[in-house]
Amino acid sequence: MSALKKIALVTGAGSGIGKAAALALAKDGYTVILAGRREERLIAVAEEIRSKDGNYPSAVTAVVDVGDSEAVKGLFADIQERFGRLDLLFNNAGRGNPPGAFTDWDAGQWREVVDTNLNGMFFCLQQAFRMMRDQHPQGGRIINNGSLAAYSPRPNSIAYTATKHAVTGLTKAASLDGRAFSIAVGQIDVGNAMSELASRMAAGVPQANGELKAEPLIDASLVGQAVVYMASLPLEANILFHTIMATNMPFVGRG
């Protein structure tokens, strides 16, 4: 890191992978903007960052629902006014599948997942592109949080899986469009990192063959380290897709 602090925005920063990434980026020298819907959780993460040793920069919080395009626009206007630039967006906010079989969902349950996991990711990416395109020096990095579901579904995961497949398309297209503006866009696909969303894995989740089986998990801090590594590269290099997963989780192979 240079003497000039770099600015990072982490969405969904109040818990799980978002929190782990925010802590890791702060330790690496970034000033971190913690965005999310639950203010008390964001404040707790900010206080944890500030409680570390003197090498940690400050953190600021921003309560926002990424599915609200106007709220996202306001968030980026505030970042522009306060910091004048954005070096990194960790586009992380997301939600899991609605409960029950998809045949029983109503339209609102489907839209809630799409609004957060896809629309929200697009709204943040769009605003980050505009800022990174127009700032001097030009450019920046965007890391989208995909999932192993972007490649292979779990039983009864149609909304989550569909949106994460869409995120992969978003990443590829944005990576191509970012070339003209020195904007590097990549994706991290996480398998079984300990978080509220994934905690049920330890108790047992349905497998493709109908069995209910517990799965191994990794500490979310390892995902934070991976985000820092992706962010550490110069803008002429990009990790387009990066998979981090529990070594023994049932993803590669059959069963």
Task: Give the model's pLDDT for residue 166.
Answer: 97
What CA–CA distance (Å, rounded) separates 197 from 199?
Answer: 6
Catalytic residues: 160
Task: Give the model's pLDDT for residue 163.
Answer: 98
Task: Give the model's pLDDT for residue 228.
Answer: 98
**Total-model pTM:** 0.91
Supply angle C-alpha 101, 158, 242, rounded to 5: 140
The single-letter code of the amino acid at 128 is A
Task: Give the model's pLDDT for residue 107.
Answer: 98
Domain boundaries, the chain: 7-245
Strand, coil or helix: 206:
strand
Contact criterion met (CB below 8 Å) for 151 and 252: no
The single-letter code of the amino acid at 152 is S
Long-range CB contacts (within 8 A, 24+) of 209-218: 209/255, 213/250, 215/246, 215/249, 215/250, 216/192, 216/246, 216/247, 216/248, 216/249, 217/192, 217/193, 217/246, 218/192, 218/193, 218/194, 218/244, 218/245, 218/246
Task: Give the model's pLDDT for residue 1.
Answer: 39
Give the CA distances from residue 71 to residues 94, 120, 200, in Å, rounded to whole numbers and listed in that order: 16, 10, 32
Does CATH place domain 7-245 in 2.60.40.10? no
Query: Tens digit of pLDDT per residue, the chain (255 long)?
Result: 344 689 999 999 999 999 999 999 999 999 999 999 999 999 999 999 988 866 666 899 999 999 999 999 999 999 999 999 999 999 999 999 999 999 999 999 999 999 999 999 999 999 999 999 999 999 999 999 999 988 888 888 999 999 999 999 999 999 999 999 999 999 999 988 877 666 677 677 777 777 887 777 889 999 999 999 999 999 999 999 999 998 888 887 755
Phi first, then psi, for residue 234 (nearest 5°) are -65, 155
